[in-house]
Amino acid sequence: MFLQDLKKAKPVLQEVLGHYLIFLALFFCFRLAVLLQYGELFTELSWGQLALSLLEGTRFDLASTSILLLVPMLVLTFPLRFTGSSIYRKLIQAIVYLQMLGLIIFLSADFVYFSHVKRHITNELLFLANDTEYLLLEAKAQWPAILGVLIAAVLCFPLFLKWHRRHNLAGVRSWSGYLLSFLIMAVLARGGVQMKPETWCGDARHGNGSMGNLILNGMFSASHYSISGHFIERKITNEKEYLSTLGILEPQDPTYPLEQKPVRSSSTNPELNLVVIMVESLSAKYIDGLSGGGYGITPELDKLITESRVFTNFFANGQRSVDGVQSILTGVPPLPGIPDMTALTANYPRLGNMARANDIRTVFVSSTNRESFSLDLIAKSAGFNEYFGREDYPLLLSYPAEEAQRPLGWDYEAMMYLLQQLQDSEGRFFGYINASSDHTPFAKLQEPFTGYEHGADTEGGYLNMLHYTDWAIGKFIEEFKQHPQFDDTVFIITADHAMAHFQSNEPYERFRIPLLIYSPKYVEPGISENYGSQIDLLSTIVDLLELEGTYSSIGSNLLEEKPQFAVVKEGALINIFSPLGFLQHSLGRMVHYQSAANQPSEQDRQQLEEQVLAFDHLTYLLLTANRWQRL
């Protein structure tokens, strides 16, 4: 009996294998597409490393395929007579076919996203899934491709059925084949027979980020990194060593070592106001006054640069808008495997709350729809009393009819609405503008914002939109000069993150953003080459506004010109930028090191590694123990 059943196992295994081959082929095709389309990212790899990457990538593809097919295959091949019938098999295979179409759509999105940030999708998946309006906007811009996929899907379904009928034409079923296929799929889903299942950081074992991008696929990185809202455990050693490495030698309270108690100056300076303008995807590269690039689209920012304190080595802490807002308004750095402020349960400072505690009115205005990118929740979490989105204010300019009501909105209207809200403010105020007009898909504008050839997802389309945003900032500052409290207002202009799309694989381009602090009466103009990042703005703002109240920050006041470095998150990796150079780490080992000097220094490399790990591990330790900030 057993031997007879065992003989029937072969067609069952062949049936399962037939499904696997199609999914593996899809993963391989998209991996090959990444290699060919973004070849400049992999030029440093030898032929041996390329081959090894493709080979190891197959293991991750097998794991992803097993996760997708485990349940359908167990249902399809269950050893009862009716499961071998033609109708039953077609029904289950139709479900598998829908899974396959979903995978194609997801891998296509990952392929496009790769061009933006030079890595696969991670926790962006949750934010996109919760923002249907933005997804519909992107779908509208890509409708020809989507229509083509749908037509191809209908035409290819009969071929899909024909392919699978040939592997088990009679619908043979077998208990031994069923159990054996289950065991094989379970092992493949875990990535092997090791004690722990394969994880997202497994690609970093070679110490090479380029190899990691080839080894992983978008589905694996998203499912093993972004969907979890839990902390990824670190191996913590000595908290005192972390504090010493970061220069925190004598904390006021060892239980809350980042706690600070600002001392208000005894000067007679007036109580200042603040306006922060956070521009979508604004890279320093595109501002002529910073890079000398000759793009000719930022005359207003170029003028402000001569009148502001400008930081030329300023970096975004992440690659998403929520990373930028979190860093600026809470000082909590976004790091791999640590939930962001929309899911973080630890106590942390909230700049809006601090401002309100000092009798400062707080107003957050976004150019986007209210709920886009969860900004309504973020603003509320950060302590803003008033929040406005695109639905709350009228259009002031005449935009092309097909673009006028875009969910990403218009920066000019957002800025003018904030100014309107602040016109009658008798007390102090803190205004925050999220200027997202420069987000893809780029709108096609009229003169004078047509200097480059337009494209909904091209660099020319971005440059035209940035020209518009620059003009809007100039108009906003010009109008604000008529406000009675202009002289007592500090303006901070920066970005949520850099424009990683259209850039090379050079790490500085992917994270360097502008920072202008403009206040003709109270902030001396000049250029600072000191290193810093968005998390340093919390301490900078607290000191500028002389806010009273205890708060915690791992950053420092940029205006004090202390030697610093910037730690940023790049997907599942962390990077550090400093005068010593650049280093990338996987939390398990160093991935890449680039010296600022002509000759790499082992001492500098070791110092960078110690600093980035101390920064990460201390952040992890204090947040998990809820010791970042006391209640």
Q: For the residues of 93-140, what is the DSSP string, one character each? A: HHHHHHHHHHHHHHHHHHHHHHHHHSS---THHHHHHT-HHHHHHHHH
The answer to whether position 233 is within a domain reads no
CA gap 136, 133 in Å, rounded: 5
Kindly state the average pLDDT of the residues 502-522. Answer: 90
CA gap 332, 229 in Å, rounded: 16
In the predicted structure, residue 368 carries a pLDDT above the cut 80? yes
The answer to whether position 215 is within a domain reads yes
Which is it for the CA torsion 324, 330, 336, 337, positive or negative? negative
Q: Which domain-ending residue is among 226, 259, 285? A: 226
Confidence category of residue 294, pLDDT binned at 50, 70, 90: very high
- What does the pLDDT read at residue 117? 61
Confidence category of residue 231, pLDDT binned at 50, 70, 90: low
Q: How many CB atoms lie within 10 A of CB 393?
A: 19
The answer to whether position 258 is within a domain reads no
Amino acid at the residue 338: I
In the predicted structure, residue 474 carries a pLDDT above the cut 90? yes
The answer to whether position 234 is within a domain reads no
Tokens standing for 120? Answer: 């696969």
Top-confidence residue, 371 or 270: 371
Is residue 288 within 8 Å of 298, Cβ to Cβ?
yes
Confidence category of residue 200, pLDDT binned at 50, 70, 90: very low
| pLDDT per residue as tens digits for the range 95-107 | 888 888 888 888 8
In the predicted structure, residue 383 carries a pLDDT above the cut 60? yes
**Range picked from 67-81, 97-111, 426-440 for highest mean pLDDT:** 426-440
In the predicted structure, residue 569 carries a pLDDT above the cut 50? yes
Kindly state the average pLDDT of the residues 581-606. Answer: 91
What is the domain count for the chain? 2
Which region among 35-44, 287-296, 560-569, 580-589 has the lowest average model confidence (pLDDT)?
35-44
Instruction: Assess whether 360 and 508 both reside in one domain.
Output: yes
Top-confidence residue, 370 or 143: 370
Q: In percent, how much of the chain has pLDDT > 70?
A: 89
| pLDDT per residue as tens digits for the range 311-320 | 999 999 999 8
Confidence category of residue 207, pLDDT binned at 50, 70, 90: very low
Q: Record the pTM.
A: 0.76
- What does the pLDDT read at residue 616? 96
Confidence category of residue 134, pLDDT binned at 50, 70, 90: low
**Range picked from 147-161, 341-355, 430-444 for highest mean pLDDT:** 430-444
Instruction: Assess whether 443 and 570 both reside in one domain.
Output: yes
- What does the pLDDT read at residue 215? 84
Instruction: Assess whether 222 and 312 both reside in one domain.
Output: no
Kindly state the average pLDDT of the residues 548-560. Answer: 93
Domain extent, residue 415, equals 239-244+272-624
- What does the pLDDT read at residue 201? 44
In the predicted structure, residue 195 carries a pLDDT above the cut 50? no
- Triad 424, 278, 460: Cα angle to 5°: 125
Strand, helix or coil for residue 404:
coil
Which region among 68-72, 88-92, 264-268, 462-466 has the lowest average model confidence (pLDDT)?
264-268
Instruction: Assess whether 286 and 184 both reside in one domain.
Output: no
**Cα 88 to Cα 81, 82, 84, 94, 155, distances in angstroms:** 11, 7, 7, 10, 21
- What does the pLDDT read at residue 338? 85
Instruction: Assess whether 175 and 286 both reside in one domain.
Output: no
Confidence category of residue 554, pLDDT binned at 50, 70, 90: very high
Instruction: Assess whether 55 and 152 both reside in one domain.
Output: yes
The answer to whether position 629 is within a domain reads no
Q: Which domain-ending residue is among 226, 258, 285? A: 226
Q: What is the mean pLDDT of the chain?
A: 86
Please provide the distance, in angstroms rounded to a whole number, between the alpha carbons at the two ends of the chain: 69
Q: What CATH number is attached to the domain comprising 290?
A: 3.40.720.10
In the predicted structure, residue 257 carries a pLDDT above the cut 80? yes
In the predicted structure, residue 543 carries a pLDDT above the cut 90? yes
The answer to whether position 585 is within a domain reads yes
Residues 6+ apart with CB under 8 A from 29: none
- What does the pLDDT read at residue 511? 94
In the predicted structure, residue 33 carries a pLDDT above the cut 70? yes
Top-confidence residue, 560 or 223: 560
Amino acid at the residue 365: V
Beta strands 428-435 and 386-388: pairing type?
A: unpaired
Instruction: Assess whether 195 and 61 both reside in one domain.
Output: yes
- What does the pLDDT read at residue 10? 86
**Range picked from 186-195, 232-241, 536-545, 584-593 for highest mean pLDDT:** 536-545
- What does the pLDDT read at residue 125? 56
| pLDDT per residue as tens digits for the range 242-252 | 999 999 888 88
- What does the pLDDT read at residue 49? 85
Is residue 525 within 8 Å of 307, Cβ to Cβ?
yes
Place of tokens 């909230």: 350
Instruction: Assess whether 332 and 435 both reside in one domain.
Output: yes
The answer to whether position 520 is within a domain reads yes
Confidence category of residue 227, pLDDT binned at 50, 70, 90: very low
- What does the pLDDT read at residue 619? 95
In the predicted structure, residue 203 carries a pLDDT above the cut 50? no
Instruction: Assess whether 511 and 603 both reside in one domain.
Output: yes
Instruction: Assess whether 94 and 212 both reside in one domain.
Output: yes
Instruction: Assess whether 360 and 499 both reside in one domain.
Output: yes
Instruction: Assess whether 601 and 468 both reside in one domain.
Output: yes
In the predicted structure, residue 40 carries a pLDDT above the cut 80? no
Confidence category of residue 470, pLDDT binned at 50, 70, 90: very high
In the predicted structure, residue 268 carries a pLDDT above the cut 70? no
Kindly state the average pLDDT of the residues 42-46. Answer: 81
**Cα 139 to Cα 92, 105, 440, 441, 470, distances in angstroms:** 29, 11, 11, 10, 28
Is residue 50 within 8 Å of 36, Cβ to Cβ?
no
The answer to whether position 218 is within a domain reads yes
